[in-house]
Structure 1
Amino acid sequence: MTTVCTADQMRAAEQTWFDAHPGQDLMQVAAHAVALEAERMLGATSDRQRVLVMVGGGNNGGDGLFAAAELASSGRSVELLSVLGIPHAEGWRAALAAGCRQVTPTDVLRQRYDLAVDAVLGIGGRPGIPRILMRTDEWLQRTGTPVLAVDLPSGLVADSGQVATAVHAAATVTFASRKWCHLTHPAARRCGEVVVADIGVDVLDADDVTAREDVAHLWPVPGPRSDKYSRGVVGLDTGSAQYSGAGVLGVLGALRTGPGMVRCAGPDNVGDRVVSRTPSVVLGEGRVQAWVVGSGWGPAAENAARLDRRLADGVPVVVDADALAVLPRRIPGNCLLTPHAGELARMLGVDRSEVEDDPRGHCLAGARMFAATVLLKGSVQWVATPSGEVVAALPGPAWTGQAGSGDVLAGMCGTLLATGMEAREAAVCAASLQALTAILNPGPWSPDQLADMFPSTIAGLVG
């Protein structure tokens, strides 16, 4: 897991540190971390390397200026470009005293640099960058100059994955904890390699987010003695006459995630479509280790009886979509509920806007109300357990927010439950695999196309 915090959480943590250390400052510590990463990126060389440090008027600019002074003292040729506001006075004096030289935007466009440091806007910045910085960023890209961002690339918003205009960084040094823009796409692509520097500040309320390494460690891999039953048999009672595609998508999600067997117990028209696409799927009832229900049922009168029939088997169940509307308040252990914000709002009896304003808190409330693990689908996908554990899956690109992605995800979760995984691990692994596959294959792939790419992603994780 990796920790992620919001801008407000980071400010609160810094204030706690200042309250405990009156008269002390964090800027020199942060600047030293920036200078160390800059030195690493520059590497050892006998040449006098040229570094451009772009600064704004806030503390982020101060970090950059003190880092510039340290780099100049170590023999680098450092040039300063003031972009926004009045530079940090003490940092500016220190940089000039160390031999740094101020340049204009026109000067920059005549030079080539070995490294540029972006210290213009930090976690308090607004989305987008001014034209002067856009032109500089374009020049740095054109000349192949790597950019090191301080805290986050200018133009990004700490708590968002959205991008208006922003600096393109090859690496980012952030402090104490990652911010959401470092992990959420498309903003994460602007951050490059993210280095978290320990500056002595503890963000006690930061959230845990699943990392690629966590998925690789947890993913169930068959051994030489495995068979179809030990690998897990998952049954899908999904789809309807009106929504047969949901049944096909759920089966694709289940099958491409590596089960021993997939059974399709949906309506006949669903089974016909499933077998024509995936002939290894077995139609009808039979022995399963987990069920997936609800996807594509539609608002039918028999939904409650259909759900009760599957819950009665006593095996873990992934409860999705229309089955959530007829859910009893208490269900068998190790079950997983997979609502989106609107469905969770109806389950909790609140407005959708309330869930969207606090998805983490409402995901936990749902888990406690129904005594089951909840995977709340969305741009950041939260997983909560009745005992109070909350973790976010690896965030993926916005391309995956389309009809059918949830059907595929439910099938994926069902396969992992059938292998014997706990609902929490199954949820974070399935959601993270779907996101990672979309990250590795950028573009508007449809959910079924993305599902066909799961095996190569899994092979890259565990192979």
Structure 2
Amino acid sequence: METVRAAERALMARLPEGALMQRAAAGLAAACAQVLGRVYGSRVVLLVGSGDNGGDTLYAGARLARRGAGVTAVLLTPERTHKGGLAALRRAGGRALSERSDVAEELIDRADLVVDGIVGIGGKGGLRPDAARLASLAARSYAAVVAVDLPSGVEADSGEVRGDAVRADLTVTFGTHKPALLVDPAREHAGTVRLVDIGLDLPEEAELEALQHADVAALLPMPTARSDKYRRGVVGIAAGSARYPGAAVLAVAGALRGGAGAVRYVGPAGSAVIARFPETLVSDRGPAKAGQVQAWVVGPGAGDDASSVAQVLEAEVPVLVDADGLRLADRDAVRGRSAPTLMTPHAGEAAALLGVSREEVEGGRLTAVRELAARYGATVLLKGSTTLVADPGGGPVRVNATGTPWLATAGSGDVLSGLSGSLLAAGLPARDAGSVAAYLHGLAGRYAADGGPVGAHDVANAIPQAWRDVRD
């Protein structure tokens, strides 16, 4: 967040005093008005801490009060409240009281809108007890909750939530998206996020990146008139077992729907794969003798087939390691590879690889994905409600949130592995292959589910629809 603070200081030095805060307050007030629909006669409660975050909130409240809203500021630290903002609110007809007031609870309970201006990007740890009590009252009320810059109580830099935190319906953030608004578990507290441009001059390289349709469209491999199945990319799939043949079928489905020119399958589930996808090239001779491929996917449903994992890691082509492959892969073998490696763990698998608890990974996903990438010398795609992709050499972490909770279904990750492998075979770098695959996989999940339950095979079948949507 120091980058944001430096940009704010530089801009404030060029602007008249208070101008930057007025820009933020204007954007915040406009967003609050949209939430309310009808401002005149509405009841608004501001939860106000100290510093500039509280000042933004008070100035926005003054704008709403001038439009006829009944605005009350509940001050958590009256002696350190932004004086200019408080004076503006009172001039506009608003009022202020201490959080210890007997009527604070009643005001929140009857409010149409509660604005969280308790702490800003400098807050650390969870909310203090008095602030946590107000946040709990707001969560139990019928009021819409709007957070200022980010929900109070979350960690701005990491997306961690280390105690009580506000749960917002809308977060109005200024200048740029903060990591906490993109990375779980903090993202779950943010609700819908609205960015207000206040004129910050930020460096081009950020801590996080979130691809959009145009970015993904530019990366998608498209066949040309000269293309044949080999030029489009051949992906090898070493997956499945007698116990889990479906994992092989779903990984092959993801690869075929992901644009691979051909798929070579190696493993004990060949009959199941051929029955579902007769175009698959099946071999029972092991990865080393399966024929030429441009990339390998190893691990989904593989059981204890350590031999296939070792053979794939020796190949001089990009390799994706998933599921059982993560458990069986030797770290030194991964680190010693000259070709790119993409690892795709979920939180439990990442915890096992790092030697920590699952709760620690889920609570600090950004830290976990960076640590895994550095430790294994590989690109890591950490699966979850927000997917994170990190390179071993550092740089911005890619964040993807196109998915849906309906994607939390058996076999969904196998489809993602096959899709990612097909993009590796088409020549995309590991970071791009993982990011694009996560984006398409999330969209396909949304299209397949359409608000209802979905199976992994439905997700695979919806990948071409997601692809067309991005391209169009």
Q: What is the TM-score when the length of structure 1 is the normalising length?
A: 0.74
**Quick one: which of 400, 405, 430 aligns to 2:412?**
405
240 and 27 in structure 1: CA distance in 2 versus 1, 3 angstrom threshold: farther
Return the offset for 1:404. Answer: 2.8
For residues 245-264 of structure 1, what are the structure 2 equivalents within 5 Å?
A: 245-264=246-265
Shift of 1:333: 1.0
Contact 2:251–2:419 (Cα < 8 Å) also in 1: yes
- 1:83–1:107: structure 2 CA closer, same or farther, 3 Å change rule? closer
Cα distance per residue 1:307-361 (max 9 Å; x no partner)? 344345532221223333233141241232233455455556x434665665545
3-state SS in 2 of match to 1:228 = coil
Give 2:259's aligned amino acid: G
Report deviation, 1:64: 1.8
| AA at the equivalent of 1:461 | V
- Residues 32 and 70, structure 1, Cα contact 8 Å, conserved in 2: no
Q: Matched residues in 1 for 2:370 and 2:165: separation?
A: 32
- 3-state DSSP of counterpart to 2:236: strand
Give the partner amino acid of 1:29: L
Q: Kindly provide the CA deviation profile for residues 31-69 of structure 1, in whole angstroms up to 9, marking residues without a partner as x.
A: 4323145448869xxx99666543013144432211233
Which amino acid in 2 is paired with 1:211? L
Distance in 2 of aligned mates of 1:295 and 1:261: 19
Q: Which amino acid aligns with 2:211?
A: A
Q: Report the alpha carbon displacement of residue 250 of structure 1 after superposing the two structures with TM.
A: 1.1
Q: 1:326 aligns with which of 314, 326, 329?
A: 329
Q: 1:62 aligns to what?
A: 55
> In the alignment, which of 71, 74, 80 is matched to residue 80 of structure 1?
71
Aligned with 1:291: secondary structure? strand
Which stretch has the larger CA shift, 318-327 or 186-195?
A: 186-195
Counterpart among 292, 299, 303 of residue 294 in structure 1: 299
| Pair 1:459–1:50, CA change in 2 (3 A) | farther
1:96 to 87, 90, 93: 90
1:314 maps onto 2:316 in alignment = yes
Q: Label 1:330 to 1:33 Cα distance change in 2 as closer, same or farther (>3 A).
A: same
Output one character per residue of 1:274-294: Cα deviation in whole Å (capped at 9) or x when no partner: 233334433334442211112
> 2:423 maps to what in 1?
416
Deviation of 1:19 after TM superposition, in Å, equals: 12
User: What is the CA–CA distance in structure 2 between the aligned matches of 1:426 and 1:26, rounded to whole Å?
Assistant: 47
Residues in 2 aligned to 1:155 and 1:358: alpha-carbon distance in whole angstroms: 15
1:277 aligns with 2:276: yes
Amino acid at match of 1:278: F
Deviation of 1:20 (Å): 12
Structure 1 SS opposite 2:441:
helix
Instruction: Name the SS for the 1:393 alignment partner.
Output: strand
Contact 1:83 1:132 in 2 (8 A): no
Amino acid at match of 1:93: A
Deviation per CA, 1:386-437: give whole Å up to 9, x if none. 4333513313455544543332221111010011101111112112333344
From 372, 375, 384, the equivalent of 2:378 is 372
Q: Distance in 2 between matches of 1:289 and 1:247?
A: 18
Q: Which residue of 2 aligns with 1:339?
A: 345
Q: One-letter code of the match for 1:67?
A: A
Does the C-alpha gap of structure 1 residues 312 and 419 become closer, same or farther in structure 2, counting only changes over 3 Å? Answer: same
Distance 1:16 1:110, change over 3 A: closer
Contact kept in structure 1, 2:184 and 2:365, CA below 8 Å = no
Is the 1:79–1:102 contact (alpha carbons within 8 Å) kept by the matching residues of 2? no
Change (3 A) 1:344 1:108: closer
Change in 2 beyond 3 A, CA 1:450/1:132:
same
Question: Quick check: 1:454 aligned with 2:448?
Answer: no
Checking the alignment, whether the CA contact within 8 Å between 2:209 and 2:397 is kept in structure 1 is yes
SS of the aligned residue for 2:231 comes to: helix
- Maintained 8 Å contact 1:35/1:68: no
Task: Name 1:212's counterpart in structure 2.
Answer: 212
- Is the Cα–Cα contact under 8 Å of residues 173 and 194 in structure 1 kept in the other structure? yes
Name the residue aligned to 2:397: 391
The code of the aligned residue for 2:253 comes to L
Secondary structure of 1:195 counterpart: strand
Counterparts of 2:435 and 2:374, CA distance in 1: 18
Shift of 1:240: 1.0
Distance 2:10 2:294 in 1: 54
**Aligned pair in 2 of structure 1 residues 179, 443: CA closer, same or farther (>3 Å)?**
farther
Partner residue of 1:150?
Answer: 148
The residue number in structure 2 matching 1:177 is 177
Q: Identify if the C-alpha distance between structure 1 residues 76 and 438 changes in structure 2 by more than 3 Å, giving closer, same or farther.
A: same
Q: Secondary structure at the match of 2:422?
A: helix
Q: What corresponds to 1:3 in structure 2?
A: none
SS at match of 1:235: strand
Gaps of 5+ in 2: 98-102, 284-289
Q: Per-residue deviation at 1:366?
A: 4.2
CA–CA separation in structure 1 for the residues paired with 2:266 and 2:198: 53
For residues 209 and 50 of structure 1, what CA distance do their matches in structure 2 show? 41
TM-score (norm. length: structure 2): 0.73
Structure 1 match to 2:244 = 243
Indicate the SS of the match to 1:118. Answer: strand
Name the CA distance, whole Å, in 1 between partners of 2:378 and 2:139.
49
Aligned length: 430
- C-alpha distance in 1, partners of 2:243/2:28? 57
Aligned CA distance change for structure 1 residues 188 and 228 (closer, same or farther; 3 Å): farther
1:382 and 2:375 are equivalent in the alignment: no
The one-letter amino acid paired with 2:425 is A
Question: Amino acid of the residue matched to residue 55 of structure 2?
Answer: G
Shift of 1:164: 9.4
The answer to whether structure 1 residue 227 and structure 2 residue 254 are counterparts is: no
Q: Is the 8 A contact 1:160 1:181 kept in 2?
A: no
Give the alignment partner of residue 34 of structure 1, picking from 25, 29, 36: 25
Corresponding residue for 2:191? 191
Shift of 1:236: 0.8
Question: Alpha-carbon deviation of 1:93?
Answer: 2.3
CA 1:193–1:57 in structure 2 vs 1: closer, same or farther (change >3 Å)? closer
CA RMSD of aligned residues (A): 4.5
